[in-house]
A and B are shown apart, each in its own frame.
Chain A
Amino acid sequence: MKISQKEVLHVAQLARLDIADADVDRLADQIGTILDYVDTLNQVDTTGVPATSHAITLTNAFREDQAQDHLDPQASLANAPEKEDGAFVVPKVL
């Protein structure tokens, strides 16, 4: 198999996803099939070919450092699952 169950679980951990035991097999299988297909890219010799990350090349878009209207704190927090005193609340970190 192209990608092992162990690798699927490792990548899921990196991506902060829990994969149910019952789904690991199927996921490894489906992703393995896709990766096998992706391997057809190796038929192409790309020695010396530059990479393209954006089709339209733009240099940095600079602007003047001027104060502009932005969301007020209340609007920024409006969709937060938990908030308190104008801040996002998260479970204990330490």
Chain B
Amino acid sequence: MWCPRYSDAALTNWPSFYQAVIPQETDAMKLHELTIEQASGLLKNKEIGSVELTRAVLDRIEAVDGKVGAFLTIDADGAMAQAEAADHRLARGDTVPLTGIPLGIKDLICTQGLRTTCASKMLENFIPPYDATVISRLKKAGAVIVGKLNMDEFAMGSTTEHSGFQTTRNPWNLDRIPGGSSGGSAAAVAADMCLGALGSDTGGSIRQPASHCGVVGVKPTYGRVSRFGLVAFASSLDQIGPLGKTVADCAIMLDAIAGHDPKDSTSVPEPVPTFAAIADDGLADVVVGIPKAYSAAQGLDPQVGAAIDRAVKTIQSLGARCIDVPLPHTDHAVAAYYVIAPSEASSNLARYDGVKYGFRDKSQADLLQMYRSTRSQGFGPEVQRRIILGTYALSAGYYDAYYGKASQIRTLIKNDFQTAFASCDAIVSPVAPTPAYPIGKTLDDPLTMYLSDIYTLSANLAGIPGISVPCGFSDDGLPIGLQIMGRHFNEPMLFKIARQFEKAANIKDKRPPL
């Protein structure tokens, strides 16, 4: 449903926050720089068409993706055909907020007829015979899919360096990681190569790259969005979510993809509110928890700490009451996660055996040797490392000590959040302990990379929603994000706080220097 806030009157009376970015003359517009909210209004009023908007986005990709490396597949012809169809629909007045909007999709979400690789040699030539449920829903809304975005192979990584094909660079500084694993999605949105994107988040893979690239990213509650057609990494943790230029844009995208799906037995039949109807009534009735354990965590960069402190003050100035919350088992979240996620992955990735789809070493005449050779050549080093770690943790004699123990710690972490949410409505924290670090820094040091997920992966273990919203820049111009986490199925609270923070913080409309 089209949110009433975006009536024609509203389009001519934008909040002051957006004034600086509202193009004044149609012919002078940089269409690719529009937000979804802006573009949607212009499309609906027939001031622009989806064909010219999509053309502008494809031109932008052509101009800057050589430097950034966000896209693995660009579907220019398909996108233009979808844009034409959207224009017909717009002409009929049959619109929803995403009709005609060019989006990018992380390359582990199945798109019928459009190559889906998971950034792995294993799936280099995989053409899905069906659409993921989120893709069917985007297509039904009339969105335009411009291409598929780079990631760490099978979503295993926090830097996008572990792609089997290319390294994506941070648009704010091309020598830095964009974060990961949805690094292509975050970089593409930051560099205006799509108006929004879908990613997936297993331990922070939407929120952390959003933070590093200065965009907004949402990990919904586990079960809120169907995983049907999402290539599985760790099934009890994976969740698809949006990355956008603004909080409102993410809410618009989540509206299109959320909801129960009988094809995913873990999708939850909860009522879905209209996320884009973000409450705009201040934060006077809101209690925000500040986790003591997080500020004590080792490795927190002072500039990130200072940016979060400023953000908390801003949230207080909007009327919210801040309290300390303990979350006593935070220190053990990374260790528990790096048992549980690789264990599930080792099981999920058993399906890549060179038989039904994907790569096969055809030189092998023996079945067992074909499996081994296929998997060793098809998977990259980080994926093999996690398969071995997970297989070890699940193997006879070690199961109780590793998987069993980690699953008990998971209960304690979940209980920590339940206790905290008895006295607060949301918890704010950093997203990542440092701004984006240099490419190559953790390539041979997996544990250091894993430890950088400290603030995000608890939300996956507990199944709660989280959002990353830009809250400042480091001295050398790298974006810093603020994380807001909430109760199960309380995404509206996250959107409310994030949207009002976004307006009040008034981060200047800086764009990456590309």
Binding site for B on A (CB under 8 A): 3, 7-8, 11-12, 14-19, 27, 30-31, 33-35, 37-44, 46, 49-56, 58, 60-61, 63, 71, 75-76, 78-82, 88, 90-93
**Pick from A11, A31, A41, A56: contact of B405, CB under 8 Å:** A41
CA distance A76 to B353 in the complex (A): 16
Size class of the B contact interface (CB-based, 8 Å): 35 or more
A49: min CB distance to chain B, Å = 4
Most chain B Cβ neighbours within 10 Å, of A3, A31, A88: A31
Contacts of B266 in A (CB 8 A): 54, 56, 58, 61
Q: Is the CB of B447 within 8 A of A33?
A: yes
CA distance A38 to B338 in the complex (A): 8
Contacts of A44 in B (CB 8 A): 329, 332, 409, 412
CA distance A12 to B373 in the complex (A): 12
CA distance A51 to B127 in the complex (A): 38
**Pick from B336, B364, B389: contact of A91, CB under 8 Å:** B364
The A contact surface, by secondary structure, is loop
The B contact surface, by secondary structure, is helix
B421 CB-CB contact with A under 8 Å: no
Contacts of A51 in B (CB 8 A): 404, 407-408, 410-411
Q: Is the CB of A12 within 8 A of B388?
A: yes
Q: Given A11-B391, A14-B395, A31-B392, verify A56-B409 contact (CB < 8 Å).
A: no
Q: Quick check: which of B13-21, B181-189, B354-362, B493-501 contacts chain A, the rest being far away?
A: B354-362
Q: Is the CB of B388 within 8 A of A11?
A: yes
Contacts of A12 in B (CB 8 A): 388
A89: min CB distance to chain B, Å = 9
B296 CB-CB contact with A under 8 Å: no
Q: Is the CB of B388 within 8 A of A15?
A: yes
Interface string of B410-432 (1 = CB under 8 A from A): 11101000000000000000000
Q: Given A50-B408, A80-B357, verify A58-B391 contact (CB < 8 Å).
A: no
| Further pairs besides A56-B268, A81-B354: 13, Cβ < 8 Å | A16-B368, A40-B332, A41-B336, A43-B332, A44-B332, A44-B412, A46-B409, A49-B412, A56-B221, A60-B265, A82-B360, A90-B355, A91-B365
**Which residues 230-258 of B sit at the A interface, judged by CB distance below 8 A?**
236
Chain A, residue nearest B346 (CB): A15
B338: min CB distance to chain A, Å = 6
**Pick from B365, B375, B388, B402: contact of A27, CB under 8 Å:** B388
Q: Is the CB of B222 within 8 A of A56?
A: yes
Q: Is the CB of B450 within 8 A of A34?
A: yes
Q: Given A34-B447, A46-B412, A78-B129, verify A15-B391 contact (CB < 8 Å).
A: yes
CA distance A45 to B27 in the complex (A): 66
